[in-house]
Structure 1
Amino acid sequence: MAPAKRLAYAADFKLRAIGHAVEHGNRAAARKFNINESMVRNWRKQEYDLRQVKQTKQSFRGNKARWPQLEDKVEQWVIEQRAAGCSVSTFSIRLKAAAVARDMDINDFGGGPSWCFRFMKRRRLSIRTTTAISQQLPNDYGEKLAIFRTYCRNKIAEKKIRPEHITNMDEVPLTFDFPVDRTVERPGTSSASVRSTWNEKSSFTVVLGCQANGQKLPPMVIFKEKTLPKEKFPAGVVIKANTKGWMDEDKMSDWLTEVYVKRPDGFLHKSPSLLICDSMRAHLTDTVKTQMKQTNSELVIIPGGFTKELQPLDIGVNRAFKVKLRAAWEHWMTDGEHSFTRTGRQRRASYATICQWIVDAWAKVSISSVVRAFTRAGLIAGQLTDSTETDSDDDERDAGMLDAEIAQLLNSDTEDEDFDGFVEEG
């Protein structure tokens, strides 16, 4: 005999049955709606949830927590963090849940994005955020895009420049704190302040470089100090300092000497090369142009306001790097060892710790992400793609991060620079 088909009822139907049961009793409601009395009793327990969902929703199956005690502890942690003004992201929730699972000897707890989504739904938690305003491109941007791409392709074809000699460099402005304007919070809360180490305005710069074959150059970090911090820094990163913590002519020269020239097959300057930069003034000085000529390299400047369309690092690499860097900071904020000032403020991470985060985050950005970014920029003949194409690479989309937040992070500080034209030899 075939098993009876299990029926699903819409929320509207269940609420009508509940209303009849309140007035006439569970048994009467079961007879009127031709259902089992036990169903009416269960629905009455779910009345609050039923009134919160769409009236066409037909089931709450799968909404029961497998580890309710674990979720109780994680929920309590979220409440405590928010009471202290700390930012709570879905990533930090997953980290905390994994730690609680270890303490409770739960070995089969995955704690993935889907679990976090269900946990927040069960505990009525949501994400508070603001709307990011995107940049408006000029009316003739399509023509300028085509001109720039054609210029690059012609140079590449003319000098027979191989992918491993096509480099993009960009400065990424960062702060010692990475709080965001969003946090997990209960609906209806009047405010959603976020606690940090009070170093959101203490800035520094990370200079990233990558090549069209996916090769990543060592990052250079410029701290806002008169002299180099006296700490033991990790290998794989170049440390610099100046009073502004930003790229200037001297630091651009340092990057060319200590990073660009030392790239694979770059020291002897035998192969013609292409360096693509934005229109920041530090990239356009006579000193930089002279150094570029000495390295058998062409310097190509992206028009101001077009980095989101033409700069590979902005298109598909910086985002992946920042996601991983924020994950390291959140892990440190959640589980790291901290010290405090006499006034009770938490001290920021050390220079060396931050540099280790940078090295690790940069190493985790995949080769495929870099190659795809150059492809999407349309700088290589025959590989032009729609720049609005959705990138599905897992490196660039952490399940605990949302697009609005990442878009906020990628605002460039060099977009307002004037475009002085492409840099030619001679």
Structure 2
Amino acid sequence: MGNNYIRKTNRQKWSEADMLQAIDAVRAKRMGWLKATKMYNVPFGTLRRRVNNMNKRVKGTQKGMGTSTTIPLEAEQEIVNHILDLESRLFGVTALELRQLAFKIATERGYSHKFNTEKQLAGWDWLSGFRRRHPEISLRAPEATSAARAKGFNKVQVKKFFDLLTDTITNENIPTSRIYNMDESALTTVHKPPRVFARKGKKQVGALTSGERGQHVTVVACMSSGGRFIPPALIFPRKNYKAEYFDGCPPETLGLCYETGYMVSDLFSKWMDHFINHVKPSKEEKVLLIVDGHSSHKSLNALEKAKEHGIVLLCLPAHCTHRLQPLDVPFFGPLETYFNAACALWMKNHVGRTITLYQISGLFCV
């Protein structure tokens, strides 16, 4: 049967509610076959089969037309449950593995099938029909998750962190509006092009970028639970500071330079001064600063500075930041999207040129 089959008859137009009433009436002997057929507008033969449980494929008031599925619906539901269980454990089933599983089940359980016995695979038509019959599952592109993260992110670890968070807020008497989260992410000179319209069926669609591999600039963002943003910091992969690197940045942006372009202990100490200057914490009005477990956040200089100015540092659990880091979804996700769009527009408006580190600061605040 083709994937785009269109029904050519009006069979099984009866409603399941009417069929249920007709079955109950006949079984209770309130009326005969013909009277129940006319009163509830259901087919005579269908009513008899349902009352006498003669239909092998469907029971009661269920509808079912055409040939039966290769694998019974009950067995298909077992496959669905198996797929969802494996996905929850980060071992998702691919389309090829699903076809192999269907062949194995059909063979071992003796179901009549026309699958490919040479390759031991169910066909693409079966897979298409399986997906239509079970819309609760869909083919998705998974996010790569390391084994360490999979093991580290668990109920015990998460509960321990939130218990510690609650105790810290209560014991230090910190208002919810003075809870801050700080995180870093990178912007690269080689952007990810957005989707474009192209001729249907074309094998490859291209879009210009600045190169195969680019340089990056680290963005340091910090915001409070009350929605207050601290002016960002940008770390350029340079030894010496130059003011032109930061032309076009948001007001009071902290400009930093380091050879690798990544956060290190000395830069985090400078960022702490930047944070203190804008938040004005004190031992009388403490603030809670939630950071990840990067080594640069644990230097003695930074810890002493935090203690001196009434900053309570709280570290997220190891290997859990992919789920617990607050800034990932509301800030860095949209930032990456709009930054890529700004880069694509810049490339269109500057034909023949490429994006360098000098353009990143301007594109960052577009």
For Structure 1 versus Structure 2, the TM-score category normalised by the shorter chain is: 0.5 to 0.7
The aligned residue for residue 173 of structure 1 is 186
Normalised by the length of structure 1, the TM-score is 0.48
Structure 1 pair 289–305 and aligned structure 2 pair: CA distance change class (3 A):
same
CA displacement at 1:144 relative to structure 2: 0.6
TM-score by length of 2: 0.56
Amino acid at match of 2:157: K
Alpha-carbon distance in 2 for matches of 1:220, 1:294:
23
Contact (CA 8 Å) 1:175, 1:199: kept in 2 or not? Answer: no
Show CA shifts across 1:368-395 (max 9, x none): xxxxxxxxxxxxxxxxxxxxxxxxxxxx
Q: Give 2:325's aligned residue.
A: 311
Aligned partner of residue 230 in structure 2, secondary structure: coil
Instruction: Say whether 1:250 aligns with 2:263.
Output: no
User: Does structure 1 retain, via aligned residues, the 8 Å contact 2:291–2:315?
Assistant: yes
Cα deviations across residues 12-31 of structure 1 (Å, max 9, x unaligned)? 589xxxxxxxxxxxxxxxxx
Residues 1:357 and 2:363 are matched in the alignment: yes
Structure with the larger RCO, 1 or 2 (CA within 8 Å, 6+ apart): 1
Identity of aligned residues (%): 22
Closer, same or farther: CA 294–359 of 1 in aligned 2, 3 Å: farther
Give the C-alpha shift of residue 225 in structure 1: 0.9
Alpha-carbon contact 1:272-1:297 (below 8 Å) kept = yes
Partner of residue 323, structure 1:
337
Q: What displacement does 1:358 show?
A: 2.4
CA contact (8 A) 2:208 2:347 kept: no
Q: Deviations over 1:234-271 (max 9, x none)?
A: 3332111111001001110111112x1022343x5541
Q: Is 1:228 matched with 2:238?
A: no
Distance between the aligned counterparts of 2:166 and 2:194, measured in 1?
A: 40
Q: CA deviation at 1:190?
A: 3.2
**Paired position in structure 2 for 1:406:** none
Q: Which residue of 2 aligns with 1:134?
A: 144
Q: Deviations over 1:214-234 (max 9, x none)?
A: 001111000111112341623
2:224 paired with 1:239 = no
Alignment of 1:342-381 (within 5 A): 346-349=353-356, 351=358, 353-360=359-366
Shift of 1:198: 1.5
**Number of aligned positions between the proteins:** 227
Q: Does residue 282 of structure 1 match 2:296? A: yes
Q: Which whole-Å CA distance do the structure 1 matches of 2:152 and 2:354 have between them?
A: 47
Task: Identify if the C-alpha distance between structure 1 residues 175 and 240 changes in structure 2 by more than 3 Å, giving closer, same or farther.
Answer: same
1:297 aligns with 2:304: no
Q: Establish whether residue 204 from structure 1 lines up as the match of residue 217 from structure 2.
A: yes
Are 1:332 and 2:346 an aligned pair?
yes
2:278 match: 263
CA–CA separation in structure 1 for the residues paired with 2:291 and 2:317 = 9
Q: Structure 2 unaligned segments of length 5 or more: list them.
A: 9-139
Question: Does the 8 Å CA contact 2:190/2:210 hold for their aligned counterparts?
Answer: yes
State the SS of the aligned residue for 2:256: strand
C-alpha contact 2:182 2:290 (8 A) present in aligned 1:
yes
Q: Distance in 2 between the 1:310 and 1:156 partners? A: 18
Distance in 1 between the 2:260 and 2:152 partners?
35
Q: Please tell me the residue identity of whatever aligns with 1:133.
A: E
Q: Is the 8 A contact 2:193 2:344 kept in 1?
A: no
> Greater shift after overlay, 237-246 or 180-189?
180-189
**SS at 1:276 equivalent:** strand
Correspondence for 1:155: 168
